[in-house]
Structure 1
């Protein structure tokens, strides 16, 4: 896999600085999109560092009425389950700001992976490209719920996942194709346990995280603990 020539790596001191920088970049992208197109479409990631970023955004000065929120992946759990990415984002951020509820689009993973993937494809297909996709990375180089050694149709925008190597095994994930249809892409990478995957990514291994592209701009915000 060719290393993304447009990928910029930005080293930051710690997880707090990664969260702060991500928040600032999200707001810059939002304000530019709203000024240019009249709306801002963002895809959210799960995980602790994104959660920290979301908490910071509760204090942001922006036109929330123009924001449209989507999700990169979701666990197939009951709708109210605290482990769902949509509920984490709601607790940390979305419940505290004035984004109109019809403009927040959780993945209906409670329907099961196949039905939810089909429904979410119908939601995202007409609105692509996104303005900004936010992604993390696991210790094995997975991103969203795209894990190493999985095989998916390259033409799908949303995949049903049945064999995730960490629980729950049934999930729904935007595909490489969908995640790459974004004007801007930001990866948040923090922690010593990510070093091995970062080294593999930088040497060009065919990890899921390495296959995501952006239409214009892609940045890795990484803390000092995650540098190999």
Structure 2
């Protein structure tokens, strides 16, 4: 069960920290949160837009999503980032989400917007910029947190054009070095943002974030603030 909730305002970012005592509890709460966000968005405007994260915790959440009650035909799926690898490569975020979840539900293919990262960083970022022009405000953005404080493929020490919706990434410290990411500014254009943070290896990044250091995750500043679901990290 969830055992702690804390709210902070640091550097104009409102954050709500929800600590879970088990990974399973975090996963189940995440699924309920996504289901509720979809229900509210569809009731409000007839559609639901979600931005997906990569990683093991999002994968375990995605595997549970086929069991929710929703109108899949109203969903529009985007990706926060992806690696410049072939579409069938096991490290592509789009392939992971497809295998864990999307192939099991009836979201129309035209409403699943993969980043064409196989085209290379610059061409893929340009193409995704065009796609995102029609996306409007995202209803829900899912993000992770790296041990170095990165989120999506926005790494510390890198400079990107925050006026662009999607940006090319070169020289990433984690392989592969070439990627495409939605920018911090565009990720902030969201009704809700939820971070999944699990594992003791994230402790330093969390401490830095809460102290107000300018890690990439701290640059995501939607109007309604961000929710952070954490397990295995001390506050």
TM-score, shorter chain, exceeding 0.5: yes
What is the match of residue 124 of structure 1? 132
Whether the 8 Å CA contact 2:154–2:216 is kept in 1: the answer is yes
Task: Kindly indicate whether residue 36 of structure 2 is the aligned counterpart of residue 31 of structure 1.
Answer: no
What is the match of residue 4 of structure 2? none
Q: Deviations over 1:11-51 (max 9, x none)?
A: 11122221111111011000000000000000000000000
The root-mean-square deviation of aligned C-alpha atoms, in Å, is 1.2
- Pick from 215, 223, 234: which aligns with 1:227? 234
Matches within 5 A, 1:59-74: 59-74=67-82
CA distance, structure 2, for counterparts of residue 17 and residue 147 of structure 1: 29
1:4 Cα offset (Å): 4.3
- For structure 2, list consecutive stretches of 5 or more residues without a partner in the other structure: 1-8
What is the match of residue 159 of structure 1? 167
Relative to structure 1, the CA distance from residue 111 to residue 134 in structure 2 (aligned partners, 3 Å threshold; closer, same or farther) is same
Count of aligned residue pairs for this structure pair = 227
Q: Deviations over 1:100-130 (max 9, x none)?
A: 1110000000111100000000001222210
What is the match of residue 184 of structure 2? 176
1:213 Cα offset (Å): 1.3
What is the match of residue 5 of structure 2? none
1:227 Cα offset (Å): 1.6
Higher strand content, 1 or 2: 2
Matches within 5 A, 1:72-111: 72-111=80-119
Deviates more, 1:141-150 or 1:14-23: 14-23
SS in 2 for 1:184: strand
Once superposed, which parts of structure 1, at least 4 consecutive aligned residues long, lie more than 4 Å away? none
Whether the 8 Å CA contact 2:52–2:78 is kept in 1: the answer is yes
Q: Deviations over 1:188-220 (max 9, x none)?
A: 000010011100000000000011012324210
TM-score by length of 2: 0.94
CA distance, structure 2, for counterparts of residue 51 and residue 5 of structure 1: 27
SS in 1 for 2:59: helix
CA distance, structure 2, for counterparts of residue 44 and residue 58 of structure 1: 15
1:72 Cα offset (Å): 0.1
CA distance, structure 2, for counterparts of residue 5 and residue 134 of structure 1: 17
What is the match of residue 201 of structure 1? 209
CA distance, structure 1, for counterparts of residue 195 and residue 12 of structure 2: 13
